[in-house]
Structure 1
Amino acid sequence: MSYKVFVLYSHLHDRLFVGYTTSLTDYMITMNVMESDNPLYEFRPWTLIHMELFVAEEEALIRDGFLKQEIGQNYIRREVLPMFDFGS
């Protein structure tokens, strides 16, 4: 089983979301399509802007934690987000 650490971006709200899962497809459907009690649903549409694969859940948790910290968020905004053109 592989663990996916991912970063989603809501262009309309300029919000990042970092998480990890074993089923990114299901997660994306939950975030963008299915109405749910998830408070992040209101920020859709979410775009996948970054993903990393890990074999060990512990490694995925460490990376997930790093990307959720201010230094990780700054890295995403500085290095990853500029690779995308959201028509701004």
Structure 2
Amino acid sequence: MEEFVVYILYSKKFGKNYTGFTSNLIERFKSHNLLAKKGYTIKFRPWEIIYVEFFNSKNDAMKREKFLKTGMGREFIKKLIQQQLQQDSYPPTRTRVQLPSSLLKGKTFRQKHLRFFFHYL
């Protein structure tokens, strides 16, 4: 079964964030930081992952990404960034990744994916 991930990137250097979804989180992260030659994310490198959610269906991941790009979703992201910066926990450590239990119902959480990302933070 294919797994989909909604992620939020943050560029501390520029104070920008980016929300996206993918089925290959590792390659997508590399693309944002190293491989891409054009697009929004190349302008604000380096990016760091501040939040991830895992989904079993592409449709659910797309819905969550769409929500995070609404006014309410942007407020959630803004608060997430502010909390991490205020607590001097930036960049976040493995224990700071927030995956609320209400969001994990019916979703598969892959710890091995997070280990990869924290290697790059």
**Shorter-chain TM-score tier:** 0.7 to 0.9
Runs of 4+ in 1 over 2 A off after TM superposition: 83-86
1:57 aligns with 2:58: yes
Matches within 5 A, 1:9-88: 9-78=10-79, 80-81=80-81, 82-83=83-84, 84-85=89-90
Report the TM-score when normalising by structure 2: 0.65
Q: For residues 23-57 of structure 1, what are the alpha-carbon distances to aligned partners after superposition, in whole Å with 9 as ceiling and x for unaligned?
A: 11111111111251223202000000000000011
Matched positions, count: 85
Change (3 A) 1:56 1:47: same
Change (3 A) 1:3 1:35: closer
Q: Kindly, what percent of the aligned residue pairs are identical?
A: 26
Structure 2: how far apart are the matches of 1:56 and 1:31?
23
Q: Which runs of 5+ in 1 are unaligned?
A: none
Higher percent of residues as strand: 1
Higher Cα Rg, which structure = 2
Higher percent of residues as helix: 2
Q: Which runs of 5+ in 2 are unaligned?
A: 92-121
Structure 1: how far apart are the matches of 2:76 and 2:36?
31
